Amino acid sequence: MSQSYLSNGLYDVVSQDDNEVVITLSDANHPVFKAHFEGMPLLPGFLQIDILVEIMEKEVEAITSAKFVQKVLPQERLTYRISPTKSGVRVKLSNEREELCGDFKLKWHQKI
Amino acid sequence: MSTELNALLEYLPQKEPVGFVKEVLVCEEHESRTVVRFESEPTLAMLSEAGAQSSIFLRLTEEKKAANVPTRAMGMLVSVKSKWLQKSNKHSFEVETNYVSNLDSFFIVSFTVYDGNISVAEGQVAAVLEQNGVAL
């Protein structure tokens, strides 16, 4: 797995299998948190998706729907739970308090 | 790029390396067009974020300013749907956004990403305008 210029150093993978991925985020000193936003560090919604895609070594064809329901903060431990659907996958992202942070329906394929 | 439109980039709350909008080409009440750039081939999620960032420039009209819509409000992304129309390996694109609807501070905007004259991705974003963590 290679990290992008944005995600480099942004997270560590705690555990990973086909159905569940657990990560911890870096602290607020990471350039992404300094940039999004100044004085109010939050993980951007697009990176909530791209971190998982990067770990799973996929390419997204379509974001059928992505709902961002809870702000994601630096140093949080996040769990992605992945389940197959007829046309792709559904991913529920929650924090260590088991609060739902994001709910994504994606069409993806293995990165070549 | 006109100096006047260039000055609007100051209002983009996302900074480097997450601020993808580099130029504002059109800034009208219901339509904006921007140039976005990435350091590598973008993902669909990055293009969707670029669509959301470009939508900021829909609201920065004199009409909105006169109505006291805060120009430094942050748009907190609520939802996205998008798809590739044609994969591109370019790092720079134009993004057109169009106002769809709003209810108070909740906005829905559609976007299309262009590589030259070819539309490569499209989608829709919904965002809530916030200031100091409070919905406006």
Residue A112 has what DSSP assignment?
Answer: -
Domain ranges across chain A: 11-110
Residue B87 has what DSSP assignment?
Answer: -
Q: Name the residue of chain B whose CA is nearest to A105's CA.
A: B81
pLDDT of residue B30: 84
Tens digit of each residue's pLDDT (9 = 90 or more) over A37-85: 989 999 999 999 999 999 999 999 999 999 999 999 999 999 999 999 9
- CATH class label, A11-110: alpha beta
Length of chain B (residues): 136
Instruction: Tell me the two tokens of residue A5.
Output: 């210029």
Task: Looking at the complex, report in whole angstroms how far the Cα of residue B84 sits from the nearest Cα belonging to chain A.
Answer: 6
Coil, strand, or helix at residue A4? coil
Burial class (CB in 10 A: 0-12, 13-18, 19+), B100: middle
What is the share, in percent, of chain A residues with pLDDT greater than 70? 99
Cis peptide before A37 (omega within 30 of 0): yes
How far is Cα A52 from Cα A21, in angstroms, rounded to an integer?
8
Which single residue is written with the structure tokens 């920065």? B60
Cβ-defined contact of A63 to B49 (cutoff 8 Å) = no
Q: Where are the alpha helices (DSSP H) in B60-131?
A: 62-66
- Whether B15 and chain A come into contact, CB under 8 Å, resolves to yes
Q: Give B13's contacts in chain A (Cβ within 8 Å).
A: 37-38
From A37, A47, A49, residue closest to B13, measured CB to CB: A37
Cβ proximity of A68 and A102 under 8 Å: yes
pLDDT of residue B82: 98
pLDDT of residue B75: 74
Instruction: Tell me the two tokens of residue B78.
Output: 């609520």
Cβ proximity of B125 and B108 under 8 Å: yes
What is the share, in percent, of chain A residues with pLDDT greater than 90? 93
Work out the number of other CB atoms within 10 angstroms of the CB of residue B10.
8
Give the homologous superfamily in CATH for domain B3-135: Hotdog Thioesterase (3.10.129.10)
Q: Which residues of chain B have pLDDT under 70?
A: 1, 59-74, 130-136
Q: Name the residue of chain A whose CA is nearest to B122's CA.
A: A62
Q: What's CA B19's distance to the chain center, in Å?
A: 10
pLDDT of residue B29: 77
pLDDT of residue B119: 97
Cβ-defined contact of B80 to A66 (cutoff 8 Å) = yes
pLDDT of residue A21: 98
pLDDT of residue A49: 98
How far is Cα A70 from Cα A52, in angstroms, rounded to an integer?
17
Q: What's CA A13's distance to the chain center, in Å?
A: 11
pTM, two decimals, is 0.92
Instruction: Tell me the two tokens of residue B104.
Output: 């108070």
Instruction: Tell me the two tokens of residue B61.
Output: 């009209």
Picking from B37, B14, B124, the residue whose alpha carbon sits closest to that of residue A42 is: B14
Q: Name the residue of chain A whose CA is nearest to B48's CA.
A: A46
SS3 content of chain B, % helix, strand, coil (to 5): 20, 45, 30
Whether residue A22 is predicted with pLDDT greater than 60 in this model: the reply is yes
Domain ranges across chain B: 3-135
Residue A31 has what DSSP assignment?
Answer: H
Picking from A59, A103, A112, A109, the residue whose alpha carbon sits closest to that of residue A88 is: A109
Cβ-defined contact of B81 to A60 (cutoff 8 Å) = no
How far is Cα B36 from Cα B88, in angstroms, rounded to an integer?
14
